[in-house]
Structure 1
Amino acid sequence: MAAYLTYWLENVAVHHLRETTHTRYTACVHRYLIRGLGKKKLTKLTAKDVRTWLNQLRTTCQCCERGIDTARDEARCCAVGQCCRKLLSPLTLTYIHSVLKSALEHAVREEEIPRNVARNVRTGTPRPRRFEPLTADEARQFLTAAGGHRLHTLFELALHTGLRKGELLGLRWGDLDLDRGTAAIRRTLQRTAAGGLTTLPTKTRASERRIALPTRCLQSLKLHHEQQQREREAAGTTWQHSGHVFTTVQGTPIDPTNLTRAFTTTLRRAGLRRIRFHDLRHSTATLLLEQGVELVVIKELLGHAHIGVTATVYAHVRLRLQRDAIDTLGIALHGPAITETAIGDGDEPPPCAALVR
């Protein structure tokens, strides 16, 4: 298994995966798969072997297993006999299982094994990762705090369009049609282990799309272009033209880590709770759903490959909108007396679907 997994990474996966994905696959293979199944014969691997290993992995403290505490300057838990029980999350276990399935699937194609035994093992469906989108009031508060920042236009565009961080940083002036009010999303900017800051194709084929830009963002982009021209004149010969919409004061692309740092600082200045930059994308979709925008429109805007992805991620919002809808129907059928009862309860906010529409 160890030999085959190494071969699969170096000769197969490297040609079919994005560099960042291949880096995660490599870490997963060396950290978990080879350590747990590396000595097994590929042709003799059974579903029972995979299930037994996954069950053991589920209950093993990773701090003990990988010597995390031992590597510290001063041990404070597992190395001194006080196990911290650092267990893998269900989401991580599912990811490890999926990498193993991908590797064995190729072994089936090359007729190394007759069937993919990992497919016969069920790990269960993990709960989707929770996210904390901004409310409409918090979004306005955030934009107000970002007003004086040189990347105010980027933050505004992120909230209005739901673009990913890499898509925003990879945006070039040639991708924008400010007269027609559209933007072509063709690439993403990411930091990779081999090439540093690198421009890559979009996450999926569906992610390559053309979106409409709000009037407010068009005005901000024009002002941002003027600001960039002033920065270019101030930089003089040190300016490095990259063609990107959002750059440093020297014209170079912005490192995603630095953008995250600026975003966190802006949140703190606005007095808001700490969230991920990606939660701006979730905020856009949530606010659009609450305004009654159809799911298929949101799917196209976000660049999801399938509408099922959009429906699954924002199921909690749709459930709340269903509650609002049936409460509104109750008002229509039984009169406003029900509204007073619902408001007086205090446990649920008053029905608001009709007002939002």
Structure 2
Amino acid sequence: MSPVRPLRPLLLRVLPLLLSALLAGCAAPAAQDGGEQDVRRAVAAWSRTPPAQLADVPLEDWTYEVSSVRRSGAAATVRAELRYRLTGYDGAPAGSAREVRLSRDGGRWRVTGDRAAPGAPPQLWDQGPVTVVRGAHCLVLGVGQTSRTLSAVAEEADRAVPAASAARPGPWAGRVVVVVPASLERMAELLGRPAAAYRGMGAVTTGRAGAAPAPADRVVVNPQGWAELSAAGRGIVLTHEVTHVATRAVTTDRTPLWLSEGFADWAAYRGGATTRQQAAPTLGRAVRRGELPGGLPADGDFAFGGDQEALARSYEGAWLACRLIAQQWGDAALVRLYEHAGRDPLPVALRDVLGVDEPALTRAWQDSLRADLGGPAPAP
């Protein structure tokens, strides 16, 4: 029995020391390495202040929502969704998938980079410092553009907003955000498509159809196409795009593109001095050759990047269809048809608003093309 007795006091003295050493060994790497929560906290602290490129942009609700964290030694990569609103302009937050990079320095995580996530388009400020021009009805944001150029765009936008409101008196924000990148290629980057898809175009509109509350719409200007337009052409292009913004809440997947695009052109040309022959030269040449369209333009006829003449004929034909409806049934009927077609199938909307079916409207449209554009009369 006596040999055992000295061992117990020894264990009682040594065991706490062993446990302390083991616990210290487990805790040290965690304190030195940091954890996922430390990375998330570092991103949250860093994201409280927008980047310097946006110093003059009115922002609210600027937040990064972290979705995943990947660590490798002293480096970490975070996937996050940026949510923000432009004060006074966005009824709902805009979103951007981002990739944030961090490094560990002195036991703390520090953000070293922020860019668009792989596969996601960049934001305007990723292309450089953003210059801001405020108009009466617009906010113009540009990169690589002079204040004079942006002010000229703002003047056009300030005329376009009231014109769009007059064409469709229904409720909308009555203000618009216009983005002017440095080049066609930079525009295409923002929109996530090849530059060829927008070559020759003056501007396009982003946004989600039928969204409620109002989505974060943007009119994006192609600086190369814009420079080639006349003063009148710039006004028509911008009014067309602003009309898309004004009608966004009542535009849905049901709305035929000939009605959506035709209505926007009708609003842009409305009250102007442009004749049918001047506004529809490509379709006019086809009609005079005896190539009368067999039907109203299909949605696929408005795809970018294809046959430019065919695309022009589709836009011109859509405008003339809406112009015909406004002339024969009245402006208010055209507006009601637009709103109705976003809720119900087109045959139902045509019957309820105009009292005709699609074949009857198509025949009336074809007759007007012959009369207005100088095409041959139909065979007896």
Q: TM-score range by the shorter chain?
A: under 0.3
| TM value normalised by structure 1 | 0.22
Q: Which protein, 1 or 2, shows the higher relative CO under an 8 Å CA cutoff with sep ≥ 6?
A: 1
Instruction: Give 1 or 2 for the bigger CA radius of gyration.
Output: 2
